[in-house]
Chain A
Amino acid sequence: MNTSNHSPSTCSPAGETKVNISGSEALIRSLIAEGVDTMFGYPGGAIMPVFDALYDHKNDIKHILVRHEQGALHAAQGYARVSRKAGVALVTSGPGATNAITGITDAMMDSTPLVVISGQVVSGLLGSDAFQEADVIGITQPITKWAYQVRRAEEIPWAVSRAFYIANSGRPGPVVLDITKDAQINKIDYEYSKTSFLRSYIPFPEPEVENIKAAAELINRAKKPMALVGQGVILGNAEKELLAFLEKGDIPFGSTILGLSAIPSDHPLNGGMLGMHGNIAPNMNTNECDVLIAIGMRFDDRVTGNLNTYAKQAKIIHFDIDLAEMDKNVKTTVKVLGNAKETLPLVTGLIEERKHTEWIEKFRQYKETEFDCVIKAELFPENGGELKMGEVVNKVSEATGHKAVCVTDVGQHQMMATRYFKSTLPRSMVTSGGLGTMGFGLPAGIGAKYGAPHRTVCIFVGDGGLQMSIQEFGTILEYNVDVKIILLNNNYLGMVRQWQELFFDERYSETHLKNPDFVKIADAYGIKGRKVTERKELDGAIEEMLSHKGAYLLEAVVETKGMVYPMVPAGGSVTDILIGNGRKL
């Protein structure tokens, strides 16, 4: 799905024919042959030969030394999400590899291409409970697209070549190469060739003509078509193809959290975000439309709510590259298997130009309702009172001209950021969607800055999540990474607190946090910081943050018991929407 086309490419470094080098040197050269110029890692005993080889290639590959392996993984994820390239992480055996597990799982859930290289004890010690030995393949098989243990130096170029092909092609995902220390040390005759074919793996299924026709026919008959845009569009670099399709059919759409930024926020057909804290219009109209067109999305439970009441009135068309997603959660009428970049234009060619003015008007009406009952108070509160999370997000978005990359952690601030941070450019939203990993934001933001060095990167974090990866301030210090960190501090694990308020009789069990002085911590790491409690300081502080050269922490002390609305309670119907103060839509 990603950029890998099937053309054979010139990849052997400088036309070398066989040279006798160590497995580690072969690994580095193989990475360079795959176009790797940045990676994130942390050394340790079983990966030392690779770090030693890296020492000679400082000009070829920039290695970012993080402060915890989980940080390396999330940074590689952030890098991959904005750069259209696989992220690469390098960790040691045992605890190095197990610290990487959360990031690998997150990447699997969110289809992020990663190549994770872990050191392993020497092959003779495998299975002996050696020092820092862990069964990395056994642990990672269920959470990777492919996991392979390299025990012989000769296998290294072959394994790297396969790893990048698998990670990047089809539905992308993480790959683990677990390389024993002796394989890193032993000498081989090195030669590299890229992989473009595996007989057991069909990454790009051929579009089926009859399904393309059936989809177009349904769309042409539709009076109230609606599209659901998922990350598959972004992973397939099919944003333009999607826009052409939507505009020709005049089809309004909602985005999944990971599909955000595929189409600019202010596009007239853009109905906003789907799901639990999504916008009212696309959620309500899911159960109003007559044809529902899902594109590169997987009907996650946070999007669908109760499946028994989900879009029962609609014929459903599902575009996806992964057959296993078809009919997994929602029964579909037409399945269009394939890469959206290929399948969308085929359908666009067959659909008629339409205007659905009345239908689109229904989206506008719901938008207005949502503005009146939720957004207005969140973004434009009257003077006095505590800062609102939404207003901070909105002001930062506006100050960046809606051109920044928005990276989030997980929780209330994430929902506020995905709801209110607007985008005009693709690949502008980096967030942990499927796994919901707290601690993701800061390192993912660092990675995103390396992946898009010329863009402003705004990292929204909560006070809970920031402290799950706050050690990455050290990475910012070491490399002077210019990221703008906006901490929405309510001294609570806010999303859990919100559920306790709504569903657990306000019994706030273990959700209040006694927090440190974050600005002082930032200062200790050489990160400029400012704490804002008053509304009148906010604009100035944002201005200062964005004009500052280098990393900046803006701590906004927001209302302690802020809530994220609208909300479809877990397991409820998508039309069963809470809008605050005990009211339902």
Chain B
Amino acid sequence: MEEKTLYTVTIFSENTVGVLNQITTIFTRRQLNIETLSVSPSALAGIHKFTITVFAESDEVMKKLVRQIDKRIDVLKAYFNVDDELIHQELALYKLATDKIMEHGSIEYLIRKYNIRVLEVSSDCVVFLKAGHYAETQGLFNELAEKIGVLQFIRSGRIAITKSKVERLSDMLSKREENKPEQLSHISI
């Protein structure tokens, strides 16, 4: 099989029902399997941001994919990047049994090595938070699983911002508003 690259797709859309479905079917039709997905309100009110990672064979495949996404009426802007062009993060939570940690002895070195934040400590369990790249959150998981045992583990989808100065969505929107034809008064609903 051809070597595949991990791409990150960023999509800004109107906050309407069913946008996620419209987007995912475009991936499905092209046999592209979504690795991670993160959706949240963006900095602009009423606009949602999707960050999706996917392995694909080439930029060409991604270009076609992104154009099909961009074409959907409710989508404002879609683009893709490779890792070098991004600052990206994932969040991971790890739940460990308190008694196992105590048996293990000092965990200071782990906290320093992985820059762990402790979110919760009770007599039953301890919850760690780690932000980082996939390799980092996975590295911590591996080490904890081997040395102490992990009761529960969850990792978020990737979130990312570009390193370069790209056209900001707010600029694009204000340009669109400038070119807006004269409007009849719209009904408010």
Known A7-B181, A200-B74; judge A138-B21 contact (CB<8 A).
Answer: yes
Chain B residue contacts of A194, Cβ below 8 A: 184
Interface string of A191-205 (1 = CB under 8 A from B): 111101111111000
Chain B residue contacts of A166, Cβ below 8 A: 73
Is there contact, CB below 8 Å, between B187 and A157? yes
Interface window among A139-147, A389-397, A476-484: A139-147
Which residues in chain B, 39-93, are within 8 Å of chain A measured between CB atoms? Answer: 60, 63-64, 67-68, 70-71, 73-76
Q: Does B112 contact A (CB under 8 A)?
A: no
Which residues in chain A, 144-165, are within 8 Å of chain B measured between CB atoms? Answer: 145-147, 149, 152, 154-155, 157-158
CB distance from B17 to the nearest CB of A (A): 7
Known A141-B25, A142-B25, A199-B176; judge A323-B63 contact (CB<8 A).
Answer: no
Q: Does B182 contact A (CB under 8 A)?
A: yes
Interface residues on A, range: 20 to 34
Q: Does A454 contact B (CB under 8 A)?
A: no
Q: Does B34 contact A (CB under 8 A)?
A: no
Which residues in chain B, 1-57, are within 8 Å of chain A measured between CB atoms? Answer: 13-14, 17-18, 21-22, 25, 29
Chain A residue contacts of B76, Cβ below 8 A: 199-200
Known A158-B189, A200-B75; judge A149-B183 contact (CB<8 A).
Answer: no
Majority secondary structure, B binding face? mixed
- Rounded to whole angstroms, the CA-CA distance of A192 and B184 in the bound complex is 10
Interface string of A408-428 (1 = CB under 8 A from B): 000000000000000000000
Chain B residue contacts of A198, Cβ below 8 A: 73
Is there contact, CB below 8 Å, between A200 and B13? yes
Chain A residue contacts of B186, Cβ below 8 A: 158, 193
Which residues in chain A, 96-144, are within 8 Å of chain B measured between CB atoms? Answer: 137-138, 141-142
Interface residues on B, range: 20 to 34
Q: Does A322 contact B (CB under 8 A)?
A: yes
B47's nearest neighbour on chain A, judged by CB, is A200
Chain A residue contacts of B14, Cβ below 8 A: 200
Is there contact, CB below 8 Å, between B181 and A6? yes
B75's nearest neighbour on chain A, judged by CB, is A200
Please tell me which one of the listed residues B21, B73, B187 contacts residue A201 in the complex, with CB atoms under 8 A apart: B73
Is there contact, CB below 8 Å, between B187 and A8? no
Is there contact, CB below 8 Å, between A193 and B184? yes
- Rounded to whole angstroms, the CA-CA distance of A155 and B189 in the bound complex is 6
Chain A residue contacts of B104, Cβ below 8 A: none
Chain B residue contacts of A323, Cβ below 8 A: 67, 70-71
Chain B residue contacts of A192, Cβ below 8 A: 187
Is there contact, CB below 8 Å, between B187 and A158? yes
Is there contact, CB below 8 Å, between A8 and B177? no
Is there contact, CB below 8 Å, between A324 and B67? yes
Please tell me which one of the listed residues A141, A147, A199, A328 contacts residue B64 in the complex, with CB atoms under 8 A apart: A328
Q: Does A327 contact B (CB under 8 A)?
A: yes
Q: Does B113 contact A (CB under 8 A)?
A: no
Q: Does B185 contact A (CB under 8 A)?
A: yes
Chain A residue contacts of B13, Cβ below 8 A: 200
Q: Does B173 contact A (CB under 8 A)?
A: yes
Interface string of B147-189 (1 = CB under 8 A from A): 0000000000000000000000000010011001111111101
Count chain A CB atoms within 10 A of each CB in B29, B67, B75 and give the residue with the most: B67
Chain B residue contacts of A191, Cβ below 8 A: 187
- Rounded to whole angstroms, the CA-CA distance of A7 and B177 in the bound complex is 16
CB distance from B65 to the nearest CB of A (A): 10
Count chain B CB atoms within 10 A of each CB in A155, A198, A202 and give the residue with the most: A198
CB distance from A300 to the nearest CB of B (A): 15
- Rounded to whole angstroms, the CA-CA distance of A7 and B183 in the bound complex is 9
Is there contact, CB below 8 Å, between B21 and A196? no
Is there contact, CB below 8 Å, between A141 and B74? no
Please tell me which one of the listed residues A7, A157, A193 contacts residue B185 in the complex, with CB atoms under 8 A apart: A193
Chain A residue contacts of B21, Cβ below 8 A: 138, 141
- Rounded to whole angstroms, the CA-CA distance of A26 and B41 in the bound complex is 34
Chain B residue contacts of A142, Cβ below 8 A: 22, 25, 29
B21's nearest neighbour on chain A, judged by CB, is A141
Is there contact, CB below 8 Å, between A8 and B189? no
A203's nearest neighbour on chain B, judged by CB, is B73
Is there contact, CB below 8 Å, between B18 and A8? no
Chain A residue contacts of B17, Cβ below 8 A: 149
Q: What are the nearest 3 A-B pairs in CB distance? A: A6-B181, A324-B67, A193-B184
Extra contacts besides A155-B189, A200-B74 (4): CB < 8 Å: A137-B18, A146-B73, A323-B70, A324-B64
Would you give 5 A-B contacts (Cβ < 8 Å), ordered by A?
A158-B189, A193-B184, A199-B177, A200-B73, A326-B67
Q: Write the residues of chain A forming the contact surface with B, with a CB cutoff of 8 angstroms.
A: 6-8, 137-138, 141-142, 145-147, 149, 152, 154-155, 157-158, 166, 191-194, 196-202, 322-324, 326-328
